[in-house]
Every structure is written in C-alpha cells, then in structure tokens.
Amino acid sequence: MQLSLVTEDELFKICLDFWHFFSYNILMKTKGNQYFNNLGGMDFGSLLNNSYLHAQVYPMILQSVRDLMIDLMVKPKEVLVVIDENGEAVEEHFDDTETISIYETMRESLIFLTNIDTPAMDRAIQDRLDKLTGNK
C-alpha cells in the first residue's frame, strides 16, 4: 500500500493498475453472481465470503485503497478561463490523455470499491467531508 504513495508517476500508474485489477477481482468474487451469469454453477461469492482473507485481511486493504483513491483522485479535464480579444471570458479546455486515462481507471476502481462495500465507501467519503468542514 505504501508503494502507492511514492511520488513517481510511472510507479503510481503501475500501482493504480494493480488496485484496479485487485478491486475488480474482489468484486467479481464477492458479487459477480449478481452481475454475470453463474459460470459452471460455482458460487464464488460464498467461497470468498467465508474465507479468512475476506473477513480479516481484505477489508483493511480495501479501506486503505478507498482512502488512497479519494485523496489522490485526479481531475478529468483542465479548464482555463481567459479573456478573449473581445473582452469576454471564455473557457480553454486542455485534454491531457494521460490524466484522463488515470481518471478513468480511478473512477472505475472507486465504482468497484463502492459495489464491494457501499457503507464503507460512505464512511470514507463522510470522513473526508467532516475533515473539510472541521466537524472532527
């Protein structure tokens, strides 16, 4: 988890791809039957829900990933407001494909994490809002 906090951009993208893959796999193992047809009659959700990893280890890891994603979420697009030759304020959009790609990966990961444990995501967002407003 701590490796994800290193300020090196390429390392962060590698970690982000891993957390995206990890959260997707947890979602498919815990709730995949709700989203897709049950393949081969195996109930992966009940198998994982009864495991030590799901009960003890994954919630702590997923909470750290939620916090990381919320804290480091990138903006999808940069907009600069400038005054044109007519004296009117206009928006200039800058499309940074790398930033947009990171944004999409983070957005999907947050969707996966929300579907895995919605109350935990609610608490994580509420904690951030409380810190912003000074309630805690």
In this predicted model, what pLDDT tens digit does every residue of 24-37 receive, in sequence order?
988 888 776 665 55
What mean pLDDT comes out for the span 11-33? 86
User: What does the pLDDT read at residue 40?
Assistant: 47
Q: Region 127-134: what's the mean pLDDT? A: 88
In the chain, where are the structural domains located? 2-133
What proportion of the chain, given as a percentage, has pLDDT over 90? 20
Q: How far apart are CA 39 and CA 29, in angstroms?
A: 12
What is 20-73 written as a DSSP string?
Answer: HHHHHHHHHHHHHHHHS--GGG--HHHHHHTSHIIIIIHHHHHHHHHHHHHHHP
Q: Which two tokens stand for residue 34?
A: 């709700």
Mean pLDDT of 95-99: 78
For range 6-19, the mean pLDDT: 86
- What pLDDT is stored for residue 45 in this prediction? 47
Per the confidence metrics, is the pTM higher than 0.75? no
